[in-house]
Structure 1
Amino acid sequence: MDELTNLLDEGSQWLPWLTEKGVSIIVGILIFFIGKMIAGRISGWTEKRLLKSKVDKAVAGFASSILYALMFAGIVLMALGQIGVETTSFIAILGAAGLAVGLALQGSLSNFASGVLIILLRPFKTGDFVEVGGQMGTVDRIELFHTYLKTLDNRSVILPNSSVMDDAIINFSAHSTRRLDLTIGISYDADIRQARDLMKGILDSDERVLKDPAYAIFVSELADSSVNFSVRAWVNSSDLLQFKSDLLEKVKYTFDENGVGIPYPQMDVHLSKED
């Protein structure tokens, strides 16, 4: 009887500890499963938002996966801490491993960080015509480590994202309209008014030239061999290259038909004869 009483006394002493541990384990399990569910929904929502923002599908999926992995790691540490497991050592190990990996993959991590910035800041998107990293072309796709361009002559250029973000980015497709700036020279013996009227007629007859803002034609320089006009006309961005080619061709034909000379650099050589 005394032994049974002692066992009951010992059990009553352990009961609060067992109860506390049981509650901690249950709470830890709830944190794990509820946190996992929330992390899954947040990562799914993030992927949908990226896809709606016209981010490449592979990039959106990879970014959401990384977000889920980071949240899942935090949830596991929270659950273990709630149960009573010492997580300081785990954090220290993860930190040391992360430092070692970071030192080994400095270049790749730089490209990764730049890829994340491109996705978040969106200086350009798939389909834009850009000049980045010293290369010019249409953005084919954006990945976390590289950006792919397709050049005008149909070459594929793969740029590390770090070189993209470290250099100037020129996005020719950022706006729906662009201004074409041309310098057109005529000879000094040509009629300035006639040349201006001829160029006005060419621009007025071209439907691609926007009325607002209005185009401008003015004498910009009295150069060594020519009187230079500046021609500034606004067109849709998609029409710019073809419009420039057509305009130069029309100006040449029109000037030739109306006797307006287009000079080229000349040099006068004077010969002197000595006795």
Structure 2
Amino acid sequence: MDFYSIDFYVERTIKFLIAYSPKVIAALLTLIIGLFIIKMFRKLMTTLMTKREMEPTLLKFLTDLFTWVMRILLFVSVVTKLGVETSSFVAIIGAASLAVGLSLQGSLSNFAGGMLIILFKPFKVGHTIEAQGVNGTVMEIQIFVTRILTGNGQTVFVPNGALSNGVITNFTYQGNRRAELTISISYSSDITVAMKIIQHTMEENPLILKEPAPAVAIKELGANVILVMRPWAKNADFGNMTSEILRQCKEALQSGGIEIPNGVSEIKIKND
């Protein structure tokens, strides 16, 4: 039968291609032009934001966000050019988006938290913070998590939702940081002399800032006299300063004849 002949199928195919080719060509042109426009828009947006000295994390996030939005719009336009009904297509996308949103409520909370952190900037990359029981340097602020490097070299990923809703201690924000260090002396020692020695030692330390000035005070009268030192230092020098000043104060107090208890208690038993 002619219906099953090769000529019949060839003729049908040619007619189909002739009838459908304008839509395919229009869709291809839309895709090519659209991708070119998206690429140029991304470059232009990056250049403008860089000139305005925008935060790198916010710059990358916004460019990625606008790029994906434009890609989705381009995809819908291409599908429309091919003759697909957009109303049903959009309804499917909406239903899928609702299902995904309900299943990813925690991720959406982290996404919103990332947006708040990027916009309000409670900390930046390179800052030393303490939050959610983690203390370390912020290495990267991602959309869903923040990557923190702790002092012992561990990498911790903290969800942005918890970060944005919790208490954040930023040690870098002010540029300087104050230490509160304690040292004990014996009751038999002269407290005034000990405080003068500590004050002089702190003032001579090059890592301790002159302003705000360091201070020493009596913190507690317990088993021994406990003195508290409050020196200020730059964030970069803070760790070295705390270790160095404790060593220097111990040596200075011992050289000045101030007795530092060793933590061992003497118990005397009196026999009647």
Distance in 2 (CA, whole Å) between partners of 1:50 and 1:95 is 35
Q: TM-score, normalised by structure 2?
A: 0.71
Match of 1:23 in 2: none
- Larger mean Cα displacement after TM superposition, 64-73 or 239-248: 64-73
Match of 1:132 in 2: 131
Distance in 2 (CA, whole Å) between partners of 1:265 and 1:153 is 29
Match of 2:165 in 1: 166
Q: Give the number of aligned pairs.
A: 237
In the alignment, residue 193 of structure 2 is paired with which amino acid? Answer: Q
Match of 2:248 in 1: 250
**Alpha-carbon deviation of 1:191?**
0.5
Match of 2:49 in 1: 49
Contact 2:186 2:225 in 1 (8 A): yes
- Larger mean Cα displacement after TM superposition, 59-68 or 130-139: 59-68
**Alpha-carbon deviation of 1:96?**
2.0
Contact 1:40 1:68 in 2 (8 A): no
In the alignment, residue 153 of structure 1 is paired with which amino acid? Answer: N
Distance in 2 (CA, whole Å) between partners of 1:43 and 1:132 is 36
- Match of 2:232, SS state, is strand
Contact 2:205 2:245 in 1 (8 A): no
Which aligned pairs between 1:57-68 and structure 2 lie closer than 5 A? 60-68=59-67
- Match of 2:187, SS state, is coil
Contact 1:225 1:265 in 2 (8 A): no
The one-character-per-residue Cα deviations of 1:151-196 (angstroms, maximum 9, x if unpaired) are 2222222222223223322221112111122222211110112101
Contact 1:180 1:233 in 2 (8 A): yes
Of 222, 225, 230, the residue aligned with 2:223 is 225
The reply on whether 1:148 has 2:152 as its aligned counterpart is no
The one-character-per-residue Cα deviations of 1:239-271 (angstroms, maximum 9, x if unpaired) are 111101011111111122222112355656465
- Match of 1:261, SS state, is coil
The one-character-per-residue Cα deviations of 1:83-109 (angstroms, maximum 9, x if unpaired) are xx9976555443322110111222222
The reply on whether 1:234 has 2:232 as its aligned counterpart is yes
Change (3 A) 1:62 1:203: closer
- Larger mean Cα displacement after TM superposition, 136-145 or 236-245: 136-145
**Structure 2 gap segments, 5+ residues each:** 1-32
Contact 1:130 1:173 in 2 (8 A): yes
Match of 1:207 in 2: 206
Change (3 A) 1:39 1:116: farther
Which aligned pairs between 1:1-275 and structure 2 lie closer than 5 A? 41=41, 44-45=44-45, 49=49, 52-56=53-57, 60-70=59-69, 92-221=91-220, 223-263=221-261, 269=267, 271=269
Distance in 1 (CA, whole Å) between partners of 2:175 and 2:256 is 35
- Larger mean Cα displacement after TM superposition, 182-191 or 46-55: 46-55
**Alpha-carbon deviation of 1:198?**
0.8
In the alignment, residue 234 of structure 1 is paired with which amino acid? Answer: W
Change (3 A) 1:153 1:206: same
Distance in 2 (CA, whole Å) between partners of 1:71 and 1:88 is 19
**Alpha-carbon deviation of 1:44?**
4.6
The one-character-per-residue Cα deviations of 1:208-246 (angstroms, maximum 9, x if unpaired) are 22222222222233x221222222222111111110101
The one-character-per-residue Cα deviations of 1:82-135 (angstroms, maximum 9, x if unpaired) are xxx997655544332211011122222222222222222222222211222211
**Alpha-carbon deviation of 1:199?**
0.8
Distance in 1 (CA, whole Å) between partners of 2:60 and 2:206 is 44
Distance in 1 (CA, whole Å) between partners of 2:44 and 2:132 is 33
**Alpha-carbon deviation of 1:50?**
7.1
Distance in 2 (CA, whole Å) between partners of 1:69 and 1:129 is 32
Contact 1:131 1:171 in 2 (8 A): yes
Q: TM-score, normalised by structure 1?
A: 0.70
Change (3 A) 1:131 1:77: same
- Match of 2:179, SS state, is strand
Distance in 2 (CA, whole Å) between partners of 1:235 and 1:197 is 20
- Among all aligned residue pairs of Structure 1 and Structure 2, give the percentage whose two residues are the same amino acid: 34
